[in-house]
Structure 1
Amino acid sequence: MSGSAITPWVVGNWKMNPMQSDSQQLIQSLKQYLQAAPISAQQCRIAVAPTAIALLPVQQQLKDAAVDVLTVAQDLSRVAGTGAYTGEVSAELLKDSGIEHVLIGHSERRELFGDNVQIITEKVKNALKADLSIIYCVGESLEQRESGQAEQVVLQQICDLANVVSNAQWTKVIVAYEPIWAIGTGKTASPADAQAMHANIRSGLKQLTPHGETMAILYGGSVKAENAEALAACPDINGALVGGAALNAESFYQIAQAFAQVKK
């Protein structure tokens, strides 16, 4: 299957933003753009990943949107089920609340909060056991890229995932490549560099599972309305994991529109 035959995804990762009133206004503005010029789920799957305390209010606010906009959790617990685990939100609690998708392995979780391979794989197992779909993040640091280790690092992260995913479960996985040096810095890998890494990821996935040919691989790293069209034109870039630009409804809509138009 060619990259253009894979339905693109554009996911807005709000991170630890914004305040509740701003969140409500952001969703209202996004709904207005989608009402004026709808982007169907066949053209592009659109999703937002709010903070944990905003997940359910955002989900509720999106119920009457002109098109289906998914709500994604930014993280989940390494502990399954329920119990005496203060501050944790399990895969089962997310599923029970109607949340069907979750980010796992984001570089900020890896670097700032100590999510090592063991923790990440436990989260993956819990998510898949609860029948959640995961957006699994991979990426290299600037030091790793400059030392020629970028491909090795990223493919190892893919192999870490493969160790805990059964063949049938690969249909519940989306991969997001995010060069760490391009997150929140304003720097972006050139479309050619991003495409080269995405092609390597695609090749690696195809060696691990027959589903590797049809899986969406998203690019994350200072994606903006201004560079979305060039990124969307790359055959192995099947969407975007959007950071700062997702906090502006117009920019986020324009990114989704770019992928919907280029990939149609």
Structure 2
Amino acid sequence: MSALTIVPWVIGNWKMNPTGENVQTWTEQFNQLLQQQPISNESCHLAVAPTFIALSQVQHAFSQYNRTVHTVAQDVSRFPATGAYTGEVSADLLKDSHIQHVLIGHSERRELLGDHSEILRAKLTNALNAGLTVIYCVGESLTQRENGQAEQVVLQQVQDIASVVAPDQWASNIVIAYEPIWAIGTGKTASAADAQAIHEKIREGLSQITDSSAKVAILYGGSVKPENAKEFAACPDVNGALVGGASLNAESFYHIAAAFAQSN
């Protein structure tokens, strides 16, 4: 099963980087690249996930662009609304700051910060109730892959959120990002064929949950670079990329985005 025509997403996850001065340099450089060789909104959705303290700075910079570039929060609180939750940022506060997109379930948060399925469901519920679009991350470890459990693990992670996503929200408010954990920040990548195989399985799994499975964008993440972006972009069920380290360089991020835009 392949997807219908889906406008690809290319999202940069800056993680705990960079400094404010470098943010300004990046946004200026990226704007220049887009002006020199435009990438239309219709050919590719563009987005960047900076740290919480840089959200407003990045959002303001993008508002000066000639095209839409979304600002994405890297996480959201499992607690709703407002209240006595020191250090937390709720979905309602993101919405109030005009942030419309959020990452949930990244493997680094699952492994390092204890985001288990119950917490992820609470975060997802809050985000969807606030009308946010969720980029939900899934992926297996090297051990799980070597044990032949990759598909089982990833499909279970998708199934984990099925109870809190309404039927009409899959196509409109959910983007899936498949990131094999062993390929994040290691320089290793799944082959394009491997990525397509897992993405196809994810779409098949979604078809058991929602009638909108062919409309859900499924992104690949894991050491995506300008050198390999075209291979992934050519895969029918790879609808974009969640880019880590390469997104910290404006030119590299631009070339990855251009590869997916040209494939659309």
Q: What amino acid is aligned across from residue 45 of structure 1 in structure 2? A: H
Number of aligned residue pairs = 263
Q: Hey, what does 2:250 align to over in structure 1?
A: 249
- Name the SS for the 1:163 alignment partner: helix
Shift of 1:2: 5.0
The alpha-carbon deviation at position 3 of structure 1 amounts to: 3.7
1:116 match: 116
Amino acid at match of 1:102: V
TM-score by length of 1: 0.98
Instruction: Give the letter aligned to residue 240 of structure 1.
Output: A
Alpha-carbon separation, structure 1, partners of 2:134 and 2:228: 26
List, as ranges, runs of 4+ consecutive aligned residues in structure 1 with deviation greater than 4 Å. Answer: none
Structure-2 change in CA distance of 1:12 and 1:232 (3 Å):
same
Deviation string 1:142-168 (CA, Å, 9 cap, x unpaired) is: 000000000000000010011211112
What aligned pairs does 1:151-166 form with structure 2 within 5 A after superposition? 151-166=151-166
CA distance in 1, matches of 2:19, 2:113: 22
CA contact (8 A) 2:4 2:214 kept: no
| RMSD of Structure 2 on Structure 1 (CA) | 1.0
Which residue is equivalent to 2:38?
38
Q: Match for residue 211 of structure 2?
A: 210
Q: Distance in 1 between matches of 2:246 and 2:3?
A: 24
Q: Aligned partners of 1:144, 1:247: CA distance in 2, in Å?
A: 29
What amino acid does structure 2 have at the position aligned with 1:71? T
The answer to whether the 8 Å contact 2:177/2:220 transfers is yes
* Number of the residue aligned with 1:233: 234
**SS of residue in 1 equivalent to 2:71:** strand
Cα distance in 1 between the residues matched to 2:40 and 2:60? 20
Q: CA deviation at 1:207?
A: 1.5
1:192 matched to which residue of 2?
193
Contact 1:44 1:256 in 2 (8 A): yes
Q: Indicate if the aligned counterparts of 2:230 and 2:260 stay in contact, CA closer than 8 A.
A: yes
2:225–2:246: 8 Å Cα contact kept in structure 1?
Answer: yes
How far 1:60 moved relative to its partner? 0.4
Return the letter of the residue paired with 1:47.
Answer: A
Give the corresponding residue for 1:58. 58
Identical residues among aligned pairs (%) = 64
**Structure 2 CA distance for aligned equivalents of residues 168 and 46 of structure 1:** 23
Q: AA paired with 2:196?
A: Q
Q: Deviation at 1:4?
A: 6.5
Counterparts of 1:15 and 1:198 in 2: how far apart (Å)? Answer: 24
Paired position in structure 2 for 1:262: 263
Alpha-carbon separation, structure 2, partners of 1:221 and 1:124:
23
Query: Take 2:40 and 2:212, find their aligned partners in 1: how far apart are those partners?
Result: 24
Give the AA of the match of 1:118: E
The answer (yes or no) to whether the contact 1:219–1:240 under 8 Å persists in 2 is yes
Q: What's the counterpart of residue 107 of structure 1?
A: 107
Q: 1:131 aligned to 2:114? A: no
Q: Distance in 2 between matches of 1:39 and 1:200?
A: 30
Equivalent residues in 2 for 1:19-98 (5 A)? Answer: 19-98=19-98
**Secondary structure of 1:252's aligned partner:** helix
8 Å Cα contact 1:38/1:66 also seen in 2: no
Distance 1:203 1:77 in 2: 30
Corresponding residue number in structure 2 for 1:183:
184
Q: Deviations over 1:175-207 (max 9, x none)?
A: 000000000000000000000000000111111
Q: Name the amino acid aligned to 2:242.
A: L
Structure 2 length as normaliser, TM-score?
Answer: 0.98
Q: Could you list the per-position Cα deviations for residues 211-242 of structure 1 after superposition, in whole angstroms to 9, with x for gaps in the alignment?
A: 11111000000000000000000110000000
1:113 to partner: Cα distance? 0.3
